[in-house]
Structure 1
């Protein structure tokens, strides 16, 4: 009898809750009216979802984005827009469309319609070659669905598409095709949010941009560019900054000419005009990456389609632009084994328990990663990473050394350098550093494995809550903590203060010890640590950097 009464009570409560649903309904934007859906996510809690709103017109080929002309009537914003044209996951075919500049918005609602909420704008990764604002999809469960962050953190979440691959980042190195079209798309989306988000209940003066991998480097580029002055209040870079060795293409003309040759275009003054006339799928395919890698030919040196110093969006070297972020609060961090995915490509024996990895592989990798500074620097790198291995190291220690080298060189050291630069140039801005160390959930990985590249995304986007059967309670804790820190930071500029409680007080990076937060599913006050891999940071930024750069032909 008691259960029956309780059931009736819950049914009535849900009916009343739905009847009192706060929802935006149709919203007026600069392009016209948009109508989304309202999702009930709990008692007196809803999230309004708008998918596929155009933030710019279909872009011209190798041209900056321009304003959308608008539409008549009410746009039904119920489905994601197409991804931007890109290579598929194996690099053998093309998917997506040139008409791809769309964004998606999640707005949390209580009993009354929300106003003046913080706004979090996400930029996806994918090596500047692939990706989309909805992320990977399994049974309609999209990775970058913003509902959990919006509901749990009481923030508006925005995701969007930007051009990638040849159509997003090919540059002739001159005025014919300056490049950075993908960065201009990101800027156009951020600008659109700044102009329109008040209509959705957001505060345009409190926008936080966050991203992962190439998206994290993009976040850094956006706060360094003078084009975004006054648009961005805070930023979070997860596993990537503008200083990463893969983030800037130093010889874009070479990459453009290689693509031109593949598609039958000249490499003289007529190159760009020819590329613009060529079928865009053909141009996209020609921007493929050669995944035949080895310790002496690592994958990180093959990622050529990336941002360039164009004298416009990026007027100078990234390290010289941090003054533009002097009033932008910044969180930056890495996963403790971010380089594992790259190490697996370069040294396939890493994940094979039956195959050993030789110290010679470590030597070849150290020398190839150091090639810009010459053989002597390469040997110094090898010695730095093997000094404690001894004469007869275990296979596990050799494999971990490979992962350490790639993690440090590709992600960790550049991120630490960016944190130092941000702190050095800060006026009102605060700086925070983290290490994400919740071990990978991939059963095929070695037992010593930590957090691989992109492992953090499922936790930031709340997947342990949306698909609970795939996770343990500690994963839900890790997800809860990340969402709390990220959304508190978006609200107040301080990850410890906001609507959500946190398991440990995260100190600022500036000051003695250069403290950082070790984020995982079992956190307490001991999760605050200091001097993250200081010896290796010193090696790469000081010792290695002291070797003269090798002149290239």
Structure 2
């Protein structure tokens, strides 16, 4: 048979393997990036590969590589042991491939009549070219950084999601899909609904969408009410019809940003999902949710009940449940996590009946669990009544907008743009008991029967010195003493004066604080430190510990794991000199062994593994190893509901550094109410009594470990 007679059969083989909808692009899925990620920012050394898992002939495999802009992987050009030895062994560990599996690699010469395949041990076999095997392609995409994220056509890929074809792209470590509309643009002051992916069409998912309307700050420009977009980072793309094959689907981690419910961005580079997804072998999703008055302003008409931003979070979970399988994520293994207001959001969703079953683990980093409210100084997060919030907040917003006396107040507000509304003198950010998503004033942790999350493992914790980033450095000044300075610090974060309530100006002492503060002999450093300690424990820490204690005592969560970061790396632009370790001659970038404040947001880059990606130095040669450990903890929690990585998993991934550190520091224990403990996260971490270093101050504030217990 002549060449023309063989073409149709060959074309059919390739078509089953690589379905390109655009010339020069790859679609159809079945792709895994095999690249080692030690979080050290190492550049592409040629050792990585893309695994095309659909079995086909050598020519079909080569055609797939070509559509990816690559060629069959060559052992003559790269070292098998550097990456593929471990990466292919991990495929076997997951029971995705057998120990005898062979993979197509390049021919020695293009004209050779026999083809080559490689096994998991790196042994090369001569194989008939028509045999059906998966293929290994080169991986030439660059390592992305904070400032370089190449989404050009060379690295693009197409993935079918329901009826839509999404165009994303890859870097050296993961596949990325940005700016996916997870909810239709809602009418202002209404709840969001999942965007449909039904009906044929193509979607460009190479660029992140607009941030939600907010005052200028973290987001400098371009915020919009059309903002409900998701970003997805994944190491694996399933075949278009393979979304229900559980063996290959990865745990999903949905991140909610902080920002006090008035700001925030799902595309913050500190929390970029590339490294967490790659090293942790998870699918990471970030979403935008509405903030400020657009996200939380309620009315008294019984219809527009606020919490629209909360509805966006639940909608994101519904979208994940329906569509994340197309990106390689397991909808039955979803971890919801967040930092600051994102942690508070995670806390809220634990109490939303509509979200039950849509997520399966929850992690809260630096949740502000103690802001005053409900007539309490250290108040557990309380969802106020609709009418109370309307009278105390909404009416002020309406007055500032000139709409208080309008017959149709919502129509009146519609004359303001989103940006104008959230930049009025008052920008609403309060959570209300809306009787739609939240039916109680509190998320119950002091009763098993009242909890909606008894089957959800929870991880929660703090940075040791949360408030340090908010404490000014202008003391002493005229007419300023410890008590007035504390009030000034509290006011900077919207908290009321505390000194009078605690009698700081008249009492002779306070538990856990130096006596010098109360006899006018305190140094500026003592004032700084005491202000930071008091405010940190008041607004963040005490009730976080109490929440963990009561949840463990009453089994409100399946298990509760508590952490305290005692090593942090504050983001540039969100730090002070006290939040950064002091420089020394030996460590000019800062010495983390020296004392410094472990401030709010200082764990973000550690958890996401982005310090080196953001161009920051390893300050003492231990930052990268610590980052690896923390990423492995968080990914383990997402995988199994327990932050202790399994030894076999670490060995299969080749994570020897984490293995050694875990052998040194031992197991991270869940909270036992009879003897509660927490994990101090540092180089040489340890298990210590729950609240150690904070309990004296917390007791003085009237918020001991049993603060949430019902008498």
Pairwise mapping of residues 481-500 of structure 1 onto structure 2 (< 5 A)?
481-498=629-646, 499-500=649-650
Tell me which residue corresponds to 2:170. 38
CA separation in 1, counterparts of 2:487 and 2:555?
Answer: 39
Q: CA deviation at 1:478?
A: 2.4
Alignment partners' CA distance in 2, 1:201 and 1:451? 36
Measure the CA separation in 2 of the matches of 1:337 and 1:373: 19
Match of 1:450 in 2: 597
Alpha-carbon distance change, 427 to 66 in structure 1, aligned in 2, over 3 angstroms: closer
Q: CA deviation at 1:232?
A: 1.2
Deviation at residue 528 of structure 1 after TM alignment: 4.4
* Greater displacement, 75-84 / 382-391: 382-391
Distance, in Å, in 2 between the alignment partners of 1:20 and 1:396 is 56
Q: 3-state SS of the aligned residue for 1:305?
A: coil
Report the counterpart of residue 105 of structure 1 in structure 2.
232
- Kindly indicate whether the alpha-carbon contact (under 8 Å) linking 2:568 and 2:606 is maintained by their aligned counterparts in 1: no
Q: 2:389 aligns with which of 235, 252, 259?
A: 252
Alpha-carbon distance change, 349 to 440 in structure 1, aligned in 2, over 3 angstroms: farther
Deviation, structure 1 residue 197 = 1.5
Question: How many angstroms does 1:319 deviate by?
Answer: 4.2
* Unpaired segments ≥5 residues, structure 2: 1-46, 48-73, 84-104, 107-134, 141-154, 374-380, 583-594, 651-658
Number of residues of Structure 1 aligned to a counterpart in Structure 2? 508
Query: Paired residue for 1:462?
Result: 609
Aligned pairs for 1:496-507 within 5 A: 496-498=644-646, 499-500=649-650, 501=659, 503=662, 504=665, 505-507=667-669
SS of equivalent to 1:331: strand
Query: How much has 1:451 moved relative to structure 2?
Result: 1.2
Q: Deviations over 1:94-113 (max 9, x none)?
A: 64111111101111149999
Q: Distance in 2 between matches of 1:67 and 1:421?
A: 35
* Cα distance in 2 between the residues matched to 1:164 and 1:381: 41
Deviation, structure 1 residue 379: 4.7
When residues 48 and 356 of structure 1 are mapped into structure 2, their CA distance, relative to the original with a 3 A threshold, is: farther
CA distance in 2, matches of 1:318, 1:31: 41
**SS at 1:470 equivalent:** coil
Could you give the per-residue CA deviations for residues 112-146 of structure 1, whole angstroms, max 9, x where no partner exists? 998221111100001111111111xxxxxx22211
Query: What is the rounded CA distance, in whole Å, between the counterparts of 2:568 and 2:137 in structure 1?
Result: 44
Which consecutive residues of structure 1, in runs of 5 or more, have no partner in the other structure?
1-5, 42-46, 136-141, 290-303, 547-553
Whether contact under 8 Å (1:341, 1:453) holds in the other structure is yes
Question: Where does residue 213 of structure 1 map in the other structure?
Answer: 340
Q: Where does residue 698 of structure 2 map in the other structure?
A: 537
1:411 aligns with 2:540: yes
Question: Given the two structures, how large is their TM-score scaled by the length of structure 1?
Answer: 0.81
Q: Is residue 288 of structure 2 the alignment partner of residue 164 of structure 1?
A: no
Moved more, 160-169 or 306-315: 306-315
Q: Give 1:51 deviation, angstroms.
A: 0.9
Please state whether the residue corresponding to 2:433 is helix, strand or coil: coil
Q: How far is 1:162 from its partner?
A: 0.6
1:384 counterpart = 2:510: yes
Deviates more, 1:249-258 or 1:187-196: 249-258
Q: Which has the higher helix share?
A: 1
Contact 2:175 2:233 in 1 (8 A): yes
**Aligned ranges for residues 252-331 of structure 1 at < 5 Å?**
252-253=389-390, 254-267=392-405, 270-286=408-424, 305-320=429-444, 323-331=451-459
Q: CA–CA distance in 1 between the matches of 2:618 and 2:479?
A: 31
- Name the CA distance, whole Å, in 1 between partners of 2:506 and 2:410: 40
Instruction: Give the Cα–Cα distance (whole angstroms) in 2 for the partners of residues 90 and 452 of structure 1.
Output: 18
Q: Tell me what 1:234 maps to.
A: 361
Q: What does the per-residue CA deviation read over 1:378-397, in whole Å, with 9 as the maximum and x for residues that have no partner? A: 55997435753233233212
Change (3 A) 1:117 1:229: same
SS at match of 2:470: helix
Query: What is the rounded CA distance, in whole Å, between the counterparts of 1:164 and 1:414 in structure 2?
Result: 24
Q: TM-score if structure 2 supplies the norm length?
A: 0.64
Match for 1:510 among 659, 663, 672? Answer: 672
Note closer, same or farther for the CA distance 1:545–1:309 as it changes in structure 2 (3 Å cut).
farther
1:225-276 Cα distance to aligned partner (Å, 9 max, x none): 1111111110100001566448657442222222211221125763233223
Please name the residue that 1:478 is paired with: 626
In 1, distance between residues paired with 2:500 and 2:705?
A: 12
Q: Distance in 2 between matches of 1:177 and 1:191?
A: 22
Change in CA separation of 1:429 and 1:355 when aligned onto 2, cut-off 3 Å: farther
CA contact (8 A) 1:116 1:198 kept: yes
Change over 3 Å in CA distance of 1:539–1:61 after alignment to 2: same
Q: Using the alignment, how far apart are the partners of 2:285 and 2:201 within structure 1?
A: 23
192-201 or 203-212: which moved more? Answer: 192-201
| Partner secondary structure for residue 126 of structure 1 | coil
Partner in structure 1 of residue 249 of structure 2: 116
Q: Cα distance 1:111–1:98, how it changes in 2: closer, same or farther (>3 A)?
A: closer
Larger radius of gyration: 2
1:359 is aligned, of 478, 482, 485, to 482
Distance 1:167 1:496 in 2: 40
Contact 1:519 1:527 in 2 (8 A): no
